[in-house]
Structure 1
């Protein structure tokens, strides 16, 4: 392959089977983009009550600030992955970053819930950055550095989420203006746009057609699925709207499958989804996504509970929650990228995924059983963060092993959607369990509704169960399979 890179910013590849040269900036740029999407996904979660207070809107309304990006992601992520394959990843990444920047500016300058939601819808485009980043790394890095690079980029998911929790705690301490968190995303989006424009070489896509109709149908089906998942605890799980949307999701997604089987160049080849290693990786992503939000949401609420009233918790402020409880796991994610890449390269992605998910089971079980002292809680949180980071570092390597190069973008897009669905289900179930168990406690300033300790134990135990299912998939989902079998399907 002939390189057009500036010699000052490129190095010789150590493997003849990879590109002749590669830019030193490609890996940091792609890891930074993954960090950005994780930052945008998580940064609003601790600030939702504050946003509702400062905009004078209900908790139900402000919940859409988190839901809006998820719905956009479900609609556009597979499309962006396919567009990157067809027209070139650099062009699509720059468009996605521009949309994210515009959305961040809207959210930062607006003073109404309508403008904020419009900004969050545009910010949801950032979820497409993960599959695009993995496609870039597969195309640009030599094989000798590919596992290392993908692991660093994937680990940025966990680091970005942890950083977002810490940053939100600092920026909104003592009732600080919520706009500050969106100015942070403005600065991050602008930086990533400039870095990507400089780092990414201009390469043409492989051509072909884009199945826009398939993308529209898939997006509609995923929105119909995620909307009741994310709002069911407010609407009621047996409410007519909730049940109708679940039914609609089933019909539309089945129609998508029929449409893809009859399309010459489908958005997603059904053989890709049915291939056992790809299916196992996607289901593992869903269960780890569930576990991730069990950790983040459950732990955040637990540590802030007033111990004198609830009989549990650590009376932590938002700032203390961020610094004392969330920061250690966030800092650990920094070296986990290179370590995970080394482990994947030496032992393979499947054993690494299995080890990470077993660690996740232990972490969540510890949170469920041992939560009387802050030190033991912090250790369990650190282990949970490590499990999530390493698990997601292994998954791109599994997909790269079992899908053809031209399917890298769409395969990782589907995996990202599964992570989003898992996170949405995890959030909904944790919130539902806590709300259903809430008991009224009398205080000098009036009654306060608090979840029971048993509700947190149940939520953490379900998180352990999700990690256990992911571990079973890692143990059993890849036996007797050969690399790239799907490419010949």
Structure 2
């Protein structure tokens, strides 16, 4: 099957894939059946996104219960991120070659096992192992988009992809709220959160196994294990340095050495992909301008999401009587009152994003993402002392995240051949994870380095108000970059050069 790909589709009024990417008419599905498939894949994507942020509110309790150091307990979140970096591109490519549903079911089984291991763990190494297994499930998102490309009619595809993409921001916020609810009691066991994750993982497995049909397009071929391992090593080193730099010291020999090693490994990976017969990633696809810009947007939007979650969560929980600002919120109140509204708005905005993409194209939606992200972060930088300001800004940011997540897959699907959609969206998923890691590291570093000078003796260090001003202003600038990516990076190419042509199918 030959796939027609155009360089101008990223900026066209309709960002739907070409006619050659439509579902096989002999197995065309009814609107009701399509809705069932979209619902099952949206549920799976939402649950996977929950796994990434699930332990954030309970890291302190995990540290206390397991007797771990602060550096050790940080691996509870870092392990999932690193696991996703290694397995998402590999499993995305494997699904393209050997069947997407089979890969989806296998990944969900591993997520169930990982959730059980994390819930039963009574020491840190076993908990980290469970989190590594949970991290492999990040591959569900690119696989789900590839399934949609096969099973959903072209006119419905932008809305379907937007809904599945919008569940990512919603799931990340929902996990924070659900964990806050389950661990709000003083004597609550943090393992309840992982048992909840187990139940959700089983639900996702049942939904995908029973409601998603086997896909027919398989490219076949061998998996480029050497390319996968070299890319995984490069990403692991990069994310390791980003996520642990604030613990090791940003200019320490260890941090600098790991950054340098990651650059070397990326160079090795590019060299391998150019010489092997069946590369994991076609380098022409990787550097094709719309795809490259979508990945850059992924880094920036991922940064903004974690700046939003961490910045508002920290701010809400600060004691006003000691700092002069903050809202004295418990973990539960911070999650439900300050974070949940933004998560709900992100889910509501998802289908709106799909309609806008179909009518105006993803370039327009990226521009709207930039405005809806930059303006509320700028407002937060000036006014973060009133409850209404913080909650209202968080709601608008939630809409921006959902629109951004909707636009990126539309750009990619319009600019890569059918048989490369899984790996292309896998790389984009990794770009968002990388941005989230950078956001977490930057926010943590800012809040830890800009502290209040004259706190009472025995009171732990607390961030100064200026630290939040810098955090929110930085995130606002990041969203301005999203606008520049859409405006400059996705401009229509009237006479594209050979280097700008997408890879042939």
Q: Shorter-chain-normalised TM-score: which range?
A: over 0.9
**Quick one: which of 89, 93, 116 aligns to 2:127?**
116
**Partners of 1:426 and 1:252 in 2: how far apart?**
23
The aligned counterpart of 1:413 is 426
**Quick one: which of 473, 478, 482 aligns to 2:490?**
478
Q: List aligned pairs for 1:218-229, cutoff 5 A.
A: 218-229=231-242
**Partners of 1:448 and 1:77 in 2: how far apart?**
39
Local SS of the residue matching 1:143 = coil
**Partners of 1:18 and 1:114 in 2: how far apart?**
45
The aligned counterpart of 2:196 is 184
Q: CA deviation at 1:447?
A: 2.7
Q: CA deviation at 1:206?
A: 2.1
**Partners of 1:361 and 1:297 in 2: how far apart?**
17
Deviations 1:255-289, CA, capped at 9 Å, x for gaps? 10011111121100111111111111100110111
Q: CA deviation at 1:441?
A: 4.3
**Partners of 2:306 and 2:58 in 1: how far apart?**
16
The aligned counterpart of 2:9 is none
The aligned counterpart of 2:373 is 360
The aligned counterpart of 1:332 is 345
In the alignment, is the contact (CA less than 8 A) between 2:111 and 2:137 conserved in 1?
yes
The aligned counterpart of 1:86 is 97
Local SS of the residue matching 2:461 = strand
Q: CA deviation at 1:366?
A: 1.1
In the alignment, is the contact (CA less than 8 A) between 1:277 and 1:481 conserved in 2?
no
**Quick one: which of 42, 50, 53 aligns to 1:39?**
50
2:322 maps to 1:309 = yes
Q: CA deviation at 1:29?
A: 1.2
**Partners of 1:453 and 1:439 in 2: how far apart?**
8
Deviations 1:281-300, CA, capped at 9 Å, x for gaps? 10011011111111111111
**Partners of 1:429 and 1:376 in 2: how far apart?**
23
Q: List aligned pairs for 1:192-231, cutoff 5 A.
A: 192-204=204-216, 205-231=218-244
Residues 447, 202 of structure 1: alpha-carbon distance in 2 compared, 3 angstrom cutoff: closer
In the alignment, is the contact (CA less than 8 A) between 2:88 and 2:426 conserved in 1?
yes
Q: List aligned pairs for 1:55-454, cutoff 5 A.
A: 55-175=66-186, 176-204=188-216, 205-443=218-456, 446-454=458-466
The aligned counterpart of 1:18 is 23
Once superposed, what is the RMSD of the aligned Cα atoms? Answer: 1.7
Local SS of the residue matching 1:28 = helix
Deviations 1:19-55, CA, capped at 9 Å, x for gaps? 4323342111111111011100011111111111122
In the alignment, is the contact (CA less than 8 A) between 1:356 and 1:391 conserved in 2?
yes
In the alignment, is the contact (CA less than 8 A) between 2:346 and 2:401 conserved in 1?
no
Unaligned runs of 5+ in 2: 2-18
Q: CA deviation at 1:488?
A: 2.9
Deviations 1:143-182, CA, capped at 9 Å, x for gaps? 1110010000000001101111110110110332110110
**Partners of 1:28 and 1:275 in 2: how far apart?**
32
Local SS of the residue matching 1:487 = coil
Structure number with higher relative contact order (C-alpha < 8 Å, ≥ 6 residues apart): 2
Q: CA deviation at 1:438?
A: 2.0
Q: Spell out structure 1 runs of 4+ moving beyond 6 A.
A: none
Q: CA deviation at 1:356?
A: 1.1
Local SS of the residue matching 1:53 = helix
Local SS of the residue matching 2:185 = coil
Count of matched residue pairs: 475
Q: CA deviation at 1:316?
A: 0.8
Deviations 1:316-362, CA, capped at 9 Å, x for gaps? 11111011111111222232222111111111111011101211001
Unaligned runs of 5+ in 1: 2-14
**Partners of 2:455 and 2:88 in 1: how far apart?**
47
